[in-house]
Structure 1
Amino acid sequence: MLILVGFLVVVISVVTGYALHGGDLMMLWQPLEVLIIFGAAFGAFLIANPMKIVKSVFGFMPTLLKGSPYNKGMYMDLLALLYELFYKAQREGLLAIEGDIDDPENSELFNRYPRIKKEKHAMEFLLDYLRLMVGGSMNPHELEALMEQELEALHDEEEQPAHAVNRVADALPGFGIIAAILGIIIAMGEIDGPVEVIGGLVAVALIGTFLGIFAGYSFVGPLATAMEHQAREKAKFLEIIKVTIVAILNGYKPVLAVEFGRKVMYESERPSFQELEDFVKSRK
């Protein structure tokens, strides 16, 4: 929603300023310029990226419009879930959580945290390493190294769509220049015509440059930055799982292990120690 508000503020600011200067708003409506600029940009985007990146970019859009799911409540749910899992394992043994791991859809414990269950990558990451813990075939250092490598690969994959969109943003001013050059060519073809006709054609050409720069810096570039922020938040979400699991593997009790997870959170979403403790107790 915040993205839509930002887009609206940009459009209103630029269009209102232009109109107050005496500009003709209808002059800005140039669908053929839009076709040249955005058609060429989309074609270049398809040339530069494999289909999995193209799908990822469009898959990102609904989440961006709804806003990031990684808020304080989401992080507290994650830490509470981790605490309950490891408290149960400590009290009854690791094999006690095997049923939850093998069938999370019907697990009473996981069903208490529906927002976490919706996070596909986080659930896969958590369940995979819980299985390795239950199996007991890896030492803590090997498991931590494996988690770090997986997180690095996942973060790199999550940032690829943002990088692809950012490259489009960088290219849009160039496509605007292409549209402007084509417009000037058309204007030169009418060089013997009336001055007002030539002036109108030159104005249309300049609008092509404006649209390319405007779209690149006001919409597509900020959209890529928003995608990068979301990728980092997703990486942080998985990092909390990693840090908590490593703390458990190193012998810390669940109440201290989730404190390790709390400490690596961004300050803006991090609850206080007492706030988290009260929340965990309320969910038990």
Structure 2
Amino acid sequence: MVGLIGIAIIFIMVFGGYLLAGGKMGIILKTLPFEMIMIGGAAVGAFVIGNDVPAIKHTIKDVGKVFKGPKWAAEDYRDLLCLLYELIRVARSSPVALEEHIENPPESSIFGRYPKVSADSEAVALICDTLRSVSMNYDDPHQVEEVLEKRIEASLHHKMHSTHALQTIADGLPALGIVAAVLGVIKTMGSIDQPPEVLGKLIGGALVGTFLGVFLAYGLVGPFAVKVKTVIEEDSHFYQLIREVLVANLHQHATNICIEVGRQNTPGHFRPSFSDLEEALKSAKQEAA
């Protein structure tokens, strides 16, 4: 919703100001379809040249993040902390009983109580792989933390590809606008024998290309790239929280302390209060009983 409001403000302010200043939309509307074919088509072609099919699909999918926002909400962070709390309790009381949960998460009663977290394969793999390695005596906190950090960084780097692709398009659009404008000038030069009013319209049409390239770059595609990057970085905190809690567990802190470490590392606008988390953990205990 916020993204749509931003787009509306851009169009209203730019074209509203133009009309209030006495500008006429006739030339722009007449030239716009042809300029869009040249500029937009060239931008899409360059995008296809510079990316493989998975990257193209990934970028198109990520554009939706501009309007949807972050995947994880405050209740998801709370659920994640409750899930980790239950798994750590089981791991410490009965390591054998933990195996049924980490070896087959879709059938796990613990994972089943948190469907949104369980539906995220990356989060589930991060949790299960780490707990499995601990059961195999790979439990040096510093080594595990380093492995998890590199794993999360690699995943984040991959997800950031769409923002780089969008930013590359934004960087190229002004130049493509100039290309379209030059073609318009070439067309105008072919009609140099026409009266001034005709030449004025042709030159105005040519300048629409420059305007459109700059407008698309700095008014739409560039902000889209920034928003996608912001959302991806914000969602990455979810996986960093998993790392913090599991590493705290390896340091043999009390289970409640491990979860408190996670709560403290939750982004401020998503962080549950101490009392709210206590209530959620009590409910989790009752459901597990």
- Which bin holds the TM-score, normalised by the shorter protein? over 0.9
Count of matched residue positions in the alignment of Structure 1 and Structure 2: 283
Whether the 8 Å CA contact 2:70–2:232 is kept in 1: the answer is no
Moved over 3 A (4+): none
**Cα distance, 1:192 vs structure 2:** 0.5
Matches within 5 A, 1:173-252: 173-252=174-253
Deviations 1:159-200 (A, max 9, x none): 121011111111111111111111111111111112111111
**Residue 136 (structure 1) aligns with:** 137
- Structure 2 distance, partners of 1:119, 1:13, is 40
Match in the other structure for 1:38: 40
2:69–2:231 contact (8 Å) kept in structure 1: no
Aligned to 2:19: 19
Q: Which runs of 5+ in 1 are unaligned?
A: none
The residue type paired with residue 11 of structure 2 is V
Aligned to 1:81: 83
**1:161 alignment partner AA:** S
Alpha-carbon distance in 2 for matches of 1:269, 1:96? 32
**Larger CA deviation: 202-211 vs 228-237:** 228-237
Instruction: For 1:261 and 1:26, locate their aligned partners in 2 and report how far apart those are by CA, in whole Å.
Output: 58
Cα RMSD (Å): 1.6
1:95–1:134 contact (8 Å) kept in structure 2 = no
SS in 1 for 2:132: helix
Q: Distance in 2 between matches of 1:15 and 1:118?
A: 44
Cα deviation for residue 119 of structure 1 reads: 2.0
Counterpart amino acid of 1:114?
A: P
CA deviation after TM superposition for structure 1 residue 282, in Å: 2.8
- Give the conservation status (yes or no) of the 8 Å contact 2:65–2:231: no
Moved more, 61-70 or 11-20: 61-70
**TM-score (norm. length: structure 1):** 0.94
Distance 2:238 2:125 in 1: 13
Q: Is the 8 A contact 2:63 2:224 kept in 1?
A: no
* CA drift at 1:140: 2.5
Q: What are the within-5 Å matches in structure 2 for residues 156-167 of structure 1?
A: 156-167=157-168
Match of 1:59 among 58, 61, 66: 61
Question: Take 2:256 and 2:130, find their aligned partners in 1: how far apart are those partners?
Answer: 19
Shift of 1:138: 4.4
Q: Distance in 1 between matches of 2:236 and 2:71?
A: 13
Report the CA distance between 1:66 and its aligned residue: 2.2
Q: Equivalent residue of 1:271, what SS? A: coil
Deviation at 1:65, TM superposition (A): 2.7
> Which letter maps to 1:73?
E
Aligned residues with identical type, % of pairs: 37
